[in-house]
Amino acid sequence: LTNMENLTYLNLHNNELSGGIPENIENLNNLLYLDLGNNDLTGEIPSGIGNLYSLIELNLNLNNFNGRIPYEIGNLENLTYLNFRNNELTGEIPTEIYNMQNLNYLSLRDNQIDGELTAEIGNLINLEYLYLYNNQLVGEIPVEMGNLVNLIHLYLHNNLFTGLLPNTIGNLSNLTSLDISDNNFSGQIPNDICNQGDTTP
């Protein structure tokens, strides 16, 4: 498969494929779209996937991938869509993922990802959909979350977040859905949250 170096579109979604992603996936360096979702794929996500510099969409959801998200994923600066949901991924979100400033959609939900959200998340200024729920994320929500003014959906529920909600969340005036339930937040509801109009609690 990886000998087809002229491929720009590869969709193997919704089959019963098993095993891992071939290590030499990086040979497909003309790929714009890669969808391996809804299979029985296992093992770690190979670092070579970070050499697919032309990728615009990457979907590995609904598999059994484990281990950490490779930091090389940050090389995919053309990505607009990244979906790793419903796997068995562990470890922290690599800060390199925040280099992908063209991202419109990011879903890491339903994994076992831990660690804190860092200030660099504020670099993802084109994000409209952010799904991080059903993980083991800890710490406070960084004030830089307020930089993501294009967000429409923000789902952080069922994690281990603590502390105060930042006032900058009121900057997210395009939100239509906000879910931060089932965490350990404390303090008052920020007054600025009322700037969000009809946002769903």
pLDDT at 198 over 60: no
pLDDT in tens, 102-157: 999 999 999 999 999 999 999 999 999 999 999 999 999 999 999 999 999 999 99
pLDDT in tens, 150-197: 999 999 999 999 999 999 999 999 999 999 999 999 998 887 776 654
pLDDT at 88 over 70: yes
- Alpha-carbon dihedral 127, 129, 135, 137, rounded to 10 degrees: 40
Token pair for 200 = 């769903």
Which residues, listed in sequence order, are joined to residue 113 by a DSSP beta bridge?
A: 91
Q: Which amino acid is at 4?
A: M
> What gap in Å lies between CA 201 and CA 183, rounded to an integer?
14
| Residue 94 contacts residue 67 (beta carbons within 8 Å) | no
| Residue 199 contacts residue 178 (beta carbons within 8 Å) | yes
Which residues have CB under 8 Å from 44's CB, separation 6+?
20, 65, 66, 67, 68, 70
- Predicted TM-score (pTM) of this structure: 0.94
pLDDT for 11 equals 98
